[in-house]
Amino acid sequence: MTTDVTGTLRRTALLRSVPAEELEAVAAASRLRAFRRGQVVFTRGDPGDSLVVVVSGQVKVVVRSADGGELTLTVIRPDGVLGELSVTDGGPRSADAETLDECRLLFIPRETIQGLCDRWPPVAQALAGSLAAILRRLTEEAADFVFLDLPRRVAKVLLSQPRGDDGVIAQKMSQEEFAHQAGGARQSVNAALRGFEKRGWIEMHDRVVTVKQAAALARFAG
């Protein structure tokens, strides 16, 4: 298992520069866990005692309102990490994390990451860069909520999804999942998607969405 875990660590942007012997020590201190689809990884307010690396599957990071409303902040895919903020400041989790499909996740203790940052400055720099990227993304999304209407936010969600050369979005997404990412009601998101389909920009079939005219969606989204 150690070799596989070490390879996973090497593929992350945070730890790719760490020497082999250091990665072996990180792998030894880490814990690999399997999760079912829809399983909670952590919730807001939980202790931020570990950095989580996605080995396989996808994890969504969400915030929820008291009345059950949900907004997806980001989706973390294989070789991505989550929990950087808590690892940096030692505070509790600031959002919920939930699996979108079957996942294998690697939990690295906070003290292990802190020790690496002390001994290996590139890790500290990469962690700071990751936090800066999160701040930039959240700033852009906040601006989108203020300045863009829902259809344009839906267009941006479509363009942000990984897709193949044929335009097929890799992850099947329900209208509810689109709504959680775009920050709107499911019915309104459905209307936006149907509007794009009528224009020939996308095709939809059984939760599979194919982007046919990415340039048109990009112009529409601004």
pLDDT at 1: 43
Residues 156 and 139 in one domain: no
Choosing from 145, 177, 205, the residue where a domain stops is 145
Q: Could you count the other beta carbons within 10 Å of the beta carbon of residue 26?
A: 23
Residues 30 and 132 in one domain: yes
Choosing from 112, 145, 178, the residue where a domain stops is 145
Residues 105 and 61 in one domain: yes
Residues 57 and 125 in one domain: yes
How many angstroms separate the CA atoms of 209 and 174, rounded? Answer: 10
pTM of the model: 0.86
Number of domains in the chain: 2
Domain of residue 84, CATH code: 2.60.120.10
Residues 41 and 140 in one domain: yes
The secondary structure of 66-97, three-state, reads CCCCEEEEEEECCCCEECHHHHHHCCCCCCEE
Residues 132 and 27 in one domain: yes
Residues 18 and 123 in one domain: yes
Per-residue pLDDT of the chain in tens (222 residues, 90 and over written 9): 444 889 999 999 999 999 999 999 999 999 999 999 999 999 999 999 999 999 999 999 999 988 888 999 999 999 999 999 999 999 999 999 999 999 999 999 999 999 999 999 999 999 999 999 999 999 999 999 999 999 999 999 999 999 999 999 987 778 888 899 999 999 999 999 999 999 999 999 888 899 999 999 999 998
Domain of residue 163, CATH code: 1.10.10.10
Residues 12 and 72 in one domain: yes
Residues 21 and 122 in one domain: yes
Beta-carbon-side half-sphere exposure of residue 138 (alpha carbons within 13 Å): 12
Query: What separation in angstroms does the CA of 74 have from each of 59, 78, 100, 112?
Result: 8, 13, 12, 25
Residues 170 and 71 in one domain: no
Choosing from 122, 145, 168, the residue where a domain stops is 145
How many angstroms separate the CA atoms of 169 and 201, rounded? Answer: 13
Residues 121 and 183 in one domain: no
Residue 188's domain comprises 148-221
pLDDT at 2: 45
**Cβ partners under 8 Å of residue 41, min gap 6:** 35, 52, 59, 97, 98, 99, 105
Going through the chain in order, the beta strands assigned E by DSSP cover: 31-35, 40-42, 50-56, 59-64, 70-76, 81-82, 96-99, 103-109, 202-205, 208-211
Contact at 8 Å (CB) between 170 and 162?
yes
